[in-house]
Structure 1
């Protein structure tokens, strides 16, 4: 029976037996084990990828079960780390795949190290700080990566090939990449997740079998509820002076300079986040979003406070954030990213 595991995939002419052999020799780094991460992981493990490394800092919660397909109610009850729960389930699906589970925050140091030993990276994160680190690591170590994002009924994806396509920084400077909404503010439906996963996994298989000509080459955006689909040719937005992929690239997000500063405030049960660069925050917009969800929001001329019981998050105009009610940085980051995606 196991000899026939990939028979239908091998019958697909662009893959065949030779492509299947290539897939089984490849190593994929998956950053994030949430909705996009679990979907991509299961598809690639079923496809027979040789090695997959899963990086995630979070644990399973009940609210994940609606769309994060590898997890069970028992995982949520035990608060199992997502990387571990994903590995256990994936190993049951395909025992021939080598799976590495990394319970960690994907900062520049970790991704710089991991990126040097993989053939492909897949973005399944929930924030742009991490995506920009992935982008720089991909450019520095010449590793293809596939960007993906979804919220509500909307999704977006783009495949980035170092030296060929614009990088995320190029796109970021030229195309609106986010409306400021997250799954925590606008919700999400699973079909939007599945659509992004399908695009990402299809592009991943093309890269793993080295069929470079088959890659889409366009930024894809869609809204399943509004019945819209858009593809944008972004070749012209590649910038010669881009700090991440330009002629004099210096990979700014692989250094402490671009790293958000985090500190546990002594004796206050509070974690402070300070942005790496000065910025001005629109507190009115944040107030509108979270007030509409029925949360307790207070604002004065200097700051805004949102209560996510049992924690309270205070946002200042300069981008500084205080998360009260914890001295655990990993836990505090979850609330930080509810404010800023």
Structure 2
């Protein structure tokens, strides 16, 4: 039987020695949406030893246009994204080790889940999470690869401790990404462009090859593309990669946040066990639907999803303040 990685090994940039390195590596992927599903699929097929996946959400029909690995059945079942991704990836490779977390990615989770990773890949679509990942990366000397896309634009950039300036230093060069998929949309070719460059950088890092990192961005609809060197952007006063780093974004424990493009606010509830929650809801005469992964119910006509451990999503709200009204109506 032919080696499943035969075509990849024949590529002069990888070869047999590069493939052996890939098969020894563990990669963490933060966010299993459009970016995360693409890169997880690519790296699983490339032969990495282990993937660690974290995502706080579940599959919805609107995801299917751009988030590979997911099907209509996953959306109908409201299956957590990491569960659906794990199941599909194991169909691709039965020998692939996969560790999953249905959680918000914060500093404690980064420390618990990703300290032994060889590489981190950003699929988070969340600025605060990226800053925490950036601090964690430089504190533990683990490279990470940034990615983003909206409308028809794409961005990808590798950040390598000891080699490149960090995300904070380069932020001023990054294209303005203050639009969201919810307001202006996104097309799948823009996703594919971002993840192609993320995956290319991942293979270079995993095969331990020296290369000159560049910030890549463009607009696939307008046929525009740029690749910029950024090695001189280092700032000595940077709190992440400067002369005296303090890693401030690893101190922030709050997860109260508006989910990008979702009309959804995330909270932490005081109730952490399923039985406690269902008893609490029954006492308030609130009907609920319990699944293996979460409890779904309505408060003030707003859908609410509660996950084991206490994380809570309030849907169909336009601001954190509107979500807080629902949250306080439930818990006081």
How many pairs align?
A: 278
Superposed, 1:1-341 pairs within 5 Å as: 1=1, 3-172=2-171, 174-213=172-211, 216-256=212-252, 259-260=253-254, 262=256, 311-314=316-319, 321-323=321-323, 326-327=326-327
Q: Normalising by structure 2, what TM-score?
A: 0.79
**Aligned pair in 2 of structure 1 residues 325, 79: CA closer, same or farther (>3 Å)?**
farther
- Alpha-carbon distance between aligned partners in 2 of 1:89 and 1:312, rounded to the nearest angstrom: 32
Contact map agreement 1:115 1:143 (CA 8 A) in 2: no
Alpha-carbon distance, 1:116 to partner: 1.3
Contact map agreement 2:104 2:255 (CA 8 A) in 1: no
Alpha-carbon distance, 1:221 to partner: 0.9
Q: Deviations over 1:251-275 (max 9, x none)?
A: 010003xx44649xxxxxx9798xx
- Alpha-carbon distance between aligned partners in 2 of 1:326 and 1:71, rounded to the nearest angstrom: 30
Structure 1 unaligned runs (5+)? 264-269, 274-306, 316-320, 329-341
- Alpha-carbon distance between aligned partners in 2 of 1:8 and 1:33, rounded to the nearest angstrom: 27
Contact map agreement 1:112 1:254 (CA 8 A) in 2: no
Question: Tell me, what secondary structure is at the counterpart of 2:142?
Answer: coil
Structure 2 unaligned runs (5+)? 258-263, 268-300, 304-314
- Alpha-carbon distance between aligned partners in 2 of 1:262 and 1:32, rounded to the nearest angstrom: 17
Alpha-carbon distance, 1:14 to partner: 2.0
Contact map agreement 2:74 2:84 (CA 8 A) in 1: yes
**Aligned pair in 2 of structure 1 residues 326, 79: CA closer, same or farther (>3 Å)?**
farther
Q: CA RMSD in A?
A: 2.3
Contact map agreement 1:36 1:193 (CA 8 A) in 2: yes
- Alpha-carbon distance between aligned partners in 2 of 1:206 and 1:308, rounded to the nearest angstrom: 46
